Structure 1
Amino acid sequence: MTDDRLYPSRPFLAASVAVVREGRVLVAARGKPPMRGVFTLPGGLVETGEALAETAIRELAEEVGVAAEMIGPIRPVEILERDPDGRVRSHFVIQAHAARWLSGEGTVGPEAAAIRWVDGREVETLETTPGLPDIVRTAIAMAEAPR
């Protein structure tokens, strides 16, 4: 399988996670294209044989050094970019999840150029990937719901 993410022959499946800690969610500014510098959730591509939730938790640890306990799925987000000629430049389907923070303060690195813990209002002030403010608010509500 090719890992060519630009002008792909098929969509890429990924998972992300909104980690909730004391009413705030960890967001990271993308360190690489596409959307370099735009805030999003930690996440990445699903590996063969890996469940979506497993991907989300693994990517969280790899990208920002945080551990979390999965709550559950939120909703999928589709990122579909076309070039000026109308050709599909990139296509990702990302299943967002909610989780409760267990440990780690979060660190920056190649995948995450900056990190912030934001609440449902603060996320509105950032440049984000599509639908992120709603996902952050949904994750906070899921984390605060009685178990």
Structure 2
Amino acid sequence: MKQDDIFPEFATSLEDILREGARKLLQQAIENEVAEHIERHKNLKDQSSRQMVKRNGYLPQRQIQTGLGNVEIKQPRVRGSGFSSVILPKYLRRVPSLERLIPALYLKGVSTGNMEEALSAILGKNAQGLS
């Protein structure tokens, strides 16, 4: 019997707390990255002396698959400089550790038919569509 079977509400709430903490840390790191980028380019002005590099709301919210499950992120939009986040690249949908996990499972002999089951054991319900 696993601990999750004994205290399912604790396991769920603990996972939710960890996922929310990860979301907040990632969101803050991205906000700081954007603020630093804007600060670095604050001297770029147009002909009317208006700042060329500035915040402009947020990109559409997206989900990043992590070992803690899906984490929803709102990435700030920056106008005037072609900003590209180092922390959260444009097309990133899974953290690199998950990308490395899938081939490792194949190499360990997990068959294609059992891949979703193996990933579900590691990642829970958020493993659908990973293989």
Q: TM-score, normalised by structure 2?
A: 0.27
Q: Which of structures 1 and 2 has the bigger CA Rg?
A: 2
Structure with the higher fraction of residues in strand conformation: 1
Structure with the higher fraction of residues in helix conformation: 2
Higher-RCO chain (CA-CA 8 Å, sequence separation at least 6): 1
